[in-house]
Structure 1
Amino acid sequence: MATLRSVVRGVGSYLPENCVSNEELARTIDTSDEWIVQRTGIRARHIAAEGETTSDLATRAAQAALTSAGFDAEAIDLIVVATSTPDNTFPATATTVQANLGITGGAAFDVQAVCTGFVYGLTIADNFLRTGSAKRALVIGAETFSRILDWTDRTTCVLFGDGAGAVVLEATMGQGSIQDRGVLAARLRSDGRHKSKLYVDGGPSSTGQVGHLRMDGREVFKLAVGMVPQILHDTLQDVGLPFEAIDWFVPHQANQRIIAATAEKLGLPPSKVVLTVDRHANTSAASIPLALDAAVRDGRIKTGDMVLLEAMGGGFTWGAALIRW
């Protein structure tokens, strides 16, 4: 039966010019390149310049995605920005991106699901497109996490970086089978009981201050490896596919050890895993589209490939999406 699908038409990314290596961090923080690489796989991260905002990064990534898609900005009638580090409490960063791109129609709003934000945003946009509420969408993950880090806490500040990634989706009629291009299935979850394991100790309603990121790394690792495989299994089960059918696994780029442990649990070989955390660290909602853009540009992800996305973030939130590229 004919079905509307949300097909990826373009992908783009942007990383701030300032790239900080582990060796550079070790000059001011009690850490070392060996310690960071061994525990996380991270070798460098990008830090936004003074005055460079989340909307600036998001706009650059959006422009790259539009160029990739071959669309003018006016063709977009929905913008969803996933971020935990907005420019302002309000308005939504998405509306600033909308104005930057010269778009005056459609809707624009932010989604806050921390590291799962891009998967949440993609799923929301997919629902808009499949119901006919929009025709073309920009889904953007953008973060300036450097602004909420405690740079005296070596257990967290070495893990994160700034960046943005974006995809352009277009509502396209498919046959209603798993051979269709586009988003084929998605699942979202959350469990607020785990808030204390990964959170920011501030906010407008609680302290009136931005606050800093706090994390219980061991608990996050344990829960991530335990929770994520089930939602991936359920997402594939929704379309009747085994893990062997996956061409590329594109997880949230948080920690190489978490990614490796999850892939091993699923029986996915390293050759099918897109890994970019080493070059930009954990960029929260931006990490999946950054990885997607890297894998598309270097020719790994091709039209027709089955791509499985996965993320887990503070809240806790977690989710997965299956896309025929």
Structure 2
Amino acid sequence: MLGNHASTTEFYLLGFPGSEELRHILFATFFFFYSVTLMGNTVIIVVVCVDKRLQSPMYFFLGHLSTLEILTTSIIDPVMLWGLPLRGMQTISLAACVAQLFLYLAVGTTEFALLGAMAVDCYVAVCNPLRYDVIMNSRTCIWVVITSWAFGFLSEIWPVYATFQLTFCKSNVVNNFFCDRGQLLRLSCNHTLFIEFILFLIAVFVLFDSLIPTIVSYTYIISTILKIPSTSGRRKAFSACASHFTCVVIGYSTCLFLYVKPKQTQAAEYNRVASLMVSVVIPLLNPFIFTLCKVTEALWDAVKRCCQLFRSEPCPSHFTWENSYHGF
């Protein structure tokens, strides 16, 4: 059906302009980043699923967040890596372009919804620790995750559908390394001012729908932390939310610059750099940001067990960590 409204059945991804040597360097760099991202997030998922000490809402959400990071980078990076060694432009079919854009936006929206839920989880843990187990029970956590995934995928159906209802007759060369919506709008012969405004409103709704509970939650969290009399108590409370807060700042600041702007047809270099942040840098950093004390402790115990299997002498005992959420 889309083919009846579009004047092209395939697009060409311009990728990264430059010399062949530069593209080979970029290929090696991005392949390394992609491998580390997959490895780091997979380790977090496995440890969260296996270790009984991590069977809590905080790490349940973290496991789903790591899954979303793997999906985000896997939607974009393999296509980008495949095109980097090519001497010419990379060809992508219309159907593949639609699928890539939809999955990229849907997974990103799901991630922001989940970050908002994690902010509320931090609020309950810090501000209502005695009622934490009652409020954040298993049924609540499952419904939060289901709602986040459903919201992410359902909210992006119309924006992607409307984008590919346009007629692309100016060119079929996308000046990016993936099917970037802003660059697709530049190829359209239609008047895109109205649809760009609607897409802007949707982006504002999607991002601020999760940003508002995050801001409210951290307002109460900071207020509660400042009232804790002991320094060690304040340190424990802050450490419980520091990783999530760092991820929120990096993720929201990047996507606010990339998507929440009335003019979607931004300069190509601007979009390329911001897209690299979202699809390469942030998924790479999150495993390190979210390697919390209990995850590190579980990994260290696993290393100890492996060490004891292959060596006769005992391995050095691990250091102890303070509890992440309780005991303020």
TM-score normalised to the size of structure 1?
0.28
Give the structure with the higher percent helix: 2
Give the structure with the higher percent strand: 1
TM-score normalised to the size of structure 2?
0.28
Structure label with greater radius of gyration:
2
